[in-house]
Structure 1
């Protein structure tokens, strides 16, 4: 019996040594026939991902080298001073505009107060303030404006009075839109 076991072991070893890889070809062609497009898309995706990562790595390396070169203490101080000067100029411009706006507002309030006082004075005297105001405006307009052209009356393009959308000129029958809302059913 022992001899038979040894003979069977030798036969199986010999069979494994003599086999070629033709069975792999059938499995590979079946796999590619079934999943070939998926494999292609995955390979293209992996290639694009590797290219993207390489580009990002190169950019990071370049920025790291540029940042180490650009961190000269004197240049940093100059840049900060320039930023501070620019901020100071902008703040001064803003303050000047704010002061100008406050002056305008004070002038307007003073003018309104003066007009109210004039109106009160004229009402005490029994005069109509609005009438005086209109009169003063008319004299100012007459002195400052040029001769105005009279308005021309525009005539309609068509002389016939028929317009189907307006309901005019169509005789006795006119169309009216129906009621809005649901029908009056029970």
Structure 2
């Protein structure tokens, strides 16, 4: 690969509502891809329905191993371009991909949402048990279930979810 590209996970920006199609086409072309999906309830005037939506709208994660993979991924129907921050393509570490997989696969979390805002209010904590153990978070609201924010730095996104307060400890109290 070129000097600017390294092997790893990159963020592919796709046309609106084409995430599943692009993910399927990437897999058909023997490229490893990841599309985090969440289940949500949509309400209409006459009914409610549970549907699956992408956690990050218009984003599909693609594992790039060569420059050929890079060009093959961007040439998929519905794919627009790879996300860049400044002059560098947005790379997501394997650890962050695993954390996203844990978040969407966890039964302990509910109301999962994303936000691009960098919130500064609240107390920083570390999750001490469950599938998200060791993850740092910020408290948004305290009631029966604490709202937490998990910052995924390479995406410049937040994951917002409800988690029980007994899963949280102060940053200074981790062993």
Larger radius of gyration: 1
Return the structure number with greater helix share.
Answer: 1
TM above 0.5, yes or no, is no
TM-score bucket of the superposed structures, by smaller chain: under 0.3
Return the structure number with greater strand share.
Answer: 2
